[in-house]
């Protein structure tokens, strides 16, 4: 583990140095993400001017949920998105050979090579939204509640990472996985909706089968009344299952990979 930590720290330093070389690009993308987050918050404010509750969730409970969803997505963007997105292009061009020659696990090397400081910067704003919403709700979580919240955030991040790796791994069988990657972002839109809003078939599909709702609802519920420990076990189990599936599919895809040298 120390070996992989040293490798990751080296790649993180490279990414930060590269970002500092292109400061204008960094600030522009940071502002774009900030604008997107602001639009989502303003949308909630506009909606709650006309209603007091949505699926039993008040205004600041909804902001807590949206902030949790944004926090997971910003962490995903900061730590993994660029590397996983480029993985599909590298497989198509044959540049994926570079990772096969690295002294480490191929999946780790290919999905953690780049860091996006702009995504990580906006993760602090998402965390700020969660803290602000909790204060407006008069919540006073203890250390155990905070640790449990962070643990479920990591579980949600693992699920998002796994789904994105699965989506991109389709490039090993298909000419291009761009459509699949776009479908992933469409599914993540459901993570900002309360679980109680899903009934019937959508409840089975988006809550129990595809973990696009529970990844944000479960952590948010740890800070709100009515918390159920079964959601902790369910989210942890989903994280293990989806991560194992991502590892399996990725390595199956490696067997089909035709390198540039071949």
Backbone angles phi, psi at 150, to 5 degrees: -65, -35
Judged on CB neighbours under 10 Å (0-12, 13-18, 19+), 171 is buried
- Cβ-contact 156, 67 below 8 angstroms: no
Q: Which two tokens stand for residue 63?
A: 């902001």
pLDDT for 248: 95
Taking the model in full, what pTM does it have? 0.86
Closest to 221 measured CA to CA, from 130, 160, 125 = 130
Q: Which two tokens stand for residue 130?
A: 């969660």
pLDDT for 161: 93
Mind listing the pLDDT tens digit for each residue in 11-40?
Answer: 888 888 877 777 777 777 777 777 878 888
pLDDT for 127: 92
Using CA atoms, how far apart are residues 165 and 252, in angstroms rounded to an integer?
13
Low-confidence ranges of the chain (pLDDT < 50): none
- Cβ-contact 143, 137 below 8 angstroms: no
pLDDT for 141: 86
Backbone angles phi, psi at 175, to 5 degrees: -70, -40
């Amino acid at each position: 583990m120390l070996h992989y930590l040293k490798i990751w720290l080296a790649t993180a330093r490279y990414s930060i140095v590269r970002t500092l070389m292109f400061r204008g690009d960094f600030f522009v993308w940071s502002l774009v993400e900030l604008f997107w987050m602001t639009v989502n918050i303003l949308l909630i404010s506009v909606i709650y001017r006309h209603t007091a509750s949505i699926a039993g969730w008040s205004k600041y409970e909804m902001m807590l949920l949206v902030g949790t969803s944004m926090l997971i997505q910003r962490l995903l963007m900061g730590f993994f998105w660029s590397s996983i997105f480029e993985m599909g292009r590298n497989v198509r061009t044959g540049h994926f050979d570079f990772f096969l020659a690295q002294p480490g696990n191929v999946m780790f090397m290919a999905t953690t090579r780049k860091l996006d400081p702009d995504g990580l910067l906006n993760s602090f704003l998402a965390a700020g939204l969660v803290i602000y919403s909790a204060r407006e709700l008069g919540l006073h979580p203890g250390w155990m509640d905070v640790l449990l919240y962070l643990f479920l955030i990591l579980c949600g991040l693992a699920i998002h990472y796994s789904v994105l790796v699965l989506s991109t791994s389709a490039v090993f069988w298909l000419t291009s996985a761009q459509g699949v990657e776009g479908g992933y972002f469409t599914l993540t839109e459901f993570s900002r909706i309360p679980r109680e809003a899903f009934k019937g078939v959508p409840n089975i599909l988006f809550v129990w089968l595809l973990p696009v709702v529970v990844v944000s609802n479960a952590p948010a519920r740890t800070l709100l009344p009515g918390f159920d420990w079964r959601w902790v076990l369910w989210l942890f189990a989903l994280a293990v299952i989806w991560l194992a599936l991502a590892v399996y599919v990725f390595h199956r895809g490696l067997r089909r990979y035709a390198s540039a040298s071949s």
